[in-house]
Amino acid sequence: MSFTHVAIIGLGLIGGSVGLAIQQHLPGVRTSGFDRDPDVRRRAADLGLVGQMHDSAAAAVAGADLVILCVPVGAMGTAARDMAPGLGADAVISDVGGSKVAVTQALQAALPGRCIIPAHPVAGTENSGPEAGFATLFRQRWCIITPPADAPADRVAALVKLWEDLGAMVECMDAAHHDMVLAVTSHIPHLIAYTIVGTASDLEQVTRSEVIKFSAGGFRDFTRIAASDPTMWRDVFLNNSDAVLEMLDRFLADLAVMRGAISEGDGQAMFDLFSRTRSVRRSIVAFGQDDARPDFGRGDHGKDQN
């Protein structure tokens, strides 16, 4: 089987990008959409993010054989209940949320007996809203699918195929493992970035203007991540707290070791860590998950290089 009509609920960066990507890569597939914010609905319609915009979630999902919920993870249950009256009996319900155990539970509670196959495309930018979406967001990025044990194999295969058609590489794993992996590759980096940007903003000895001026020493990289959508990230931390706290405590233990090395002037401990982290970067570039150019190929360095 393959999907012929995809409904998208929530038309921000990810929902909008899904809509555009389906229209570009799968022109034979119908797309319909809804966002609970009337202003977002109007802008998304003007941008053509989906083929048909609707004024209610129930109307948007009517006739769809796949519904993708693209709302913050804390809003999944409500979004699912709102659309339920319009949902066809055989529709597959999926999502794009950054935590999977909590979202799976919320969807199963809201839609008992339905075919629910959660997913998470590991892709995004620091921008949000319907204008931030673009059709190539998922290209060469991984999408993790976390099928419950009783998910029908043909439906799972169809969802895998859909994401591959949008340019993604797909891996299936169980929801709890996803939450642990993403805690370290995404949630802790965001928490750290938000926190250090907050710390830097609150100093008395260093002015905010100095922090901004001299940010090219490394800090500016963290501000990009710390500009991500606040609602989305609040919900991720509220809905993946166990894994985040476990990974955070490991990071804090490692940071305490480095604090000790600095305090005691143990240069060897620093050199050992700083040497071995280089190879992780090389692997990420080698596996196509980042730009090989220095400084991400940023505009100010990517041109006129010697």
SS (H, E, C) 256-298: HHHHHHHHHCCHHHHHHHHHHHHHHHHHHHHCCCCCCCHHHHC
Q: Is 3 in the site for its own copies (CB under 8 A)?
A: no
At 77, list the tokens. 């249950």
Q: Is 211 in the site for its own copies (CB under 8 A)?
A: yes
Q: Is 170 in the site for its own copies (CB under 8 A)?
A: no
Closest CB 199 distance from its own copies, rounded Å:
5
- Between 68 and 115, name the residue whose CB sits nearer to its own copies: 68
Place of tokens 């921000």: 12
Q: Is 276 in the site for its own copies (CB under 8 A)?
A: yes
Q: Is 27 in the site for its own copies (CB under 8 A)?
A: no
Single residue of 22, 144, 145, 151 touching its own copies by CB under 8 A:
144
Single residue of 43, 136, 164, 165 touching its own copies by CB under 8 A:
136
What residues does 67 pair with on adjacent strands?
7, 93
Q: Is 258 in the site for its own copies (CB under 8 A)?
A: yes
Closest CB 112 distance from its own copies, rounded Å:
25
In this structure, how many other beta carbons lie within 10 angstroms of the beta carbon of residue 156?
19
Q: What is the DSSP string of 215-244?
A: GGGTHHHHHHHTTS-HHHHHHHHHHSHHHH
Contacts (CB under 8 A) with its own copies, residues 73-92: 74
Q: Is 206 in the site for its own copies (CB under 8 A)?
A: yes
Contacts (CB under 8 A) with its own copies, residues 96-115: 98
Closest CB 39 distance from its own copies, rounded Å:
19
DSSP 187: I
Q: Is 50 in the site for its own copies (CB under 8 A)?
A: no
Single residue of 61, 123, 166, 175 touching its own copies by CB under 8 A:
123
Cα–chain center distance at 142: 11
CB of 77 closer than 8 Å to CB of 106: yes
Which listed range, 80-88, 101-109, 148-156, 260-268, lies at the site for its own copies (CB under 8 A)? 260-268
Single residue of 2, 105, 108, 215 touching its own copies by CB under 8 A:
215
Dist. CA 159–CA 2, nearest whole Å: 8
- Between 90 and 290, name the residue whose CB sits nearer to its own copies: 290
CB of 160 closer than 8 Å to CB of 170: yes
